[in-house]
Amino acid sequence: VQLEEELRGAWERGELSLHYQPIYRLADRRLMGAEALCRWQHPRLGVVPPSVFIEVAEQSGLIESLGRHVLVQACQDAAAWSQPGMEPPFVSVNISPRQLRTGDLPDVVASALAATGVLPKQLHLELTETAVLGDEVQASALLSRLRATGVKVWLDDFGTGFSGLSHLRRVPVDGVKIDRSFVADVLRDPDDLALTSAIIAMAHSLGITVVAEGIEAEGQYEVLRERGCDQGQGFWLGRPMPASEMQRRFRE
Ligand code: G
Ligand code: G
Ligand code: MN
Ligand code: NA
């Protein structure tokens, strides 16, 4: 309850901000977009990790207003990344299960797009596998509604749920993000390499894009590129950084 009270109004007080982690195309290491990651700098407690406060926001319902602020801010930042004559970069925003369940997500997304003028295809929504697992039929309808507005839907932490590959045929998504636990062992563990390759092949046969997360070494980058993985992110490619730094990277 304590942390919940501290979190209430934290966005308005300027304690919360978005960092961005760059996402590259593996074939030519072109910067394609970035994932928005929320940071909380509390005046007394210091940095509170998102693994802690997102959970608090979920439990308390504060995630609904926090999620709205995050969407608008991310779209605003992404609008500034575009440059004439270039494919506009995308921004990828994490959506927690509760935001998905409240039902007005398509409206929240539409108003963030309208308020910032960012193109719908520049916005990617990252949903966890477990969030869409509960009620496949209802989730599919919602994802279809979202995708009809032109935004892209991604499955985050892919491979950690039990639904796995068969799920992909029934849930309409544009992309999957291979969980970093697989990427971590892709050079050491033949099973993880086989599974990763299978995810890539299956996704591609369904016309779905694949992003690898948690690329921490050049060897991992190379093996994923060889296997045809489309995009990647990770400490080796770039750590999460403040918006101003991200903006500079898009300029270069
Ligand atoms: O940034 P970091 O790797 O510490 O993020 C930890 C977790 O917090 C990740 O699972 C990430 O998806 C989640 N997270 C970060 N920012 C947001 C956000 O704005 N909204 C939601 N729902 N989750 C977020
Ligand atoms: O669950 P989600 O994929 O949204 O989590 C994003 C989190 O992953 C962020 O907290 C980010 O800091 C972290 N992250 C990003 N790249 C790497 C990496 O290369 N290694 C590790 N261990 N974590 C990473
Ligand atoms: Mn994510
Ligand atoms: Na993830």
Work out the pLDDT band at 101, boundaries 50, 70, 90: confident
Q: List Cα–Cα distances, 221 to 84, 111, 128, in angstroms.
A: 30, 37, 23
Q: Which residues of 138-170 are buried (b: 16+ CB within 10 A; e: fewer)?
A: ebeebbeebbeeebbbbbbbbbebebebebbee
| Residues flanking ion ligand 3, Cβ below 5 Å | 94, 126, 156
Look at residue 1 in the predicted model and tell me its pLDDT. Answer: 60
Q: How far, in Å, from the CA of 84 to the mean position of ligand 1? A: 31
Q: Averaged over 163-177, what is the pLDDT?
A: 82
Chain segment 33-86, per-residue pLDDT in tens: 999 999 999 999 999 999 999 999 999 999 999 999 999 999 999 999 998 888
Look at residue 219 in the predicted model and tell me its pLDDT. Answer: 97
Q: pTM value?
A: 0.96
Say if residues 36 and 70 touch (Cβ distance below 8 Å).
yes
C-alpha dihedral, 145 to 196 to 235 to 152, nearest 10°: -10
How many of the other CB atoms lie within 10 Å of CB of 239? Answer: 12
Chain segment 184-237, per-residue pLDDT in tens: 999 999 998 998 999 999 999 999 999 999 999 999 999 999 999 999 999 999
Contacts of residue 201, defined as CB under 8 A and 6 or more positions apart, other chains included, come to 228
Ligand 2 pocket, residue 94 CB under 6 Å: yes
Q: Above 90 in pLDDT, residue 115?
A: yes
Ligand 2 pocket, residue 52 CB under 6 Å: no
Ligand 1 pocket, residue 73 CB under 6 Å: no
Q: Residue 56 is part of which domain span? A: 2-251
Q: What's the CA gap between 24 and 33, in Å, rounded?
A: 7
Q: Above 90 in pLDDT, residue 137?
A: no
Exposed/middle/buried for residue 121 (C-beta within 10 Å: 0-12, 13-18, 19+): middle
Number of helical (H) and strand (E) elements in the chain, helices listed first: 12, 10
Complex ipTM: 0.96
Closest-CA residue, ligand 2 atom 6, reads 37
Domain count, the chain: 1
State how beta strands 30-42 and 46-48 pair. antiparallel
Q: Above 80 in pLDDT, residue 161?
A: no
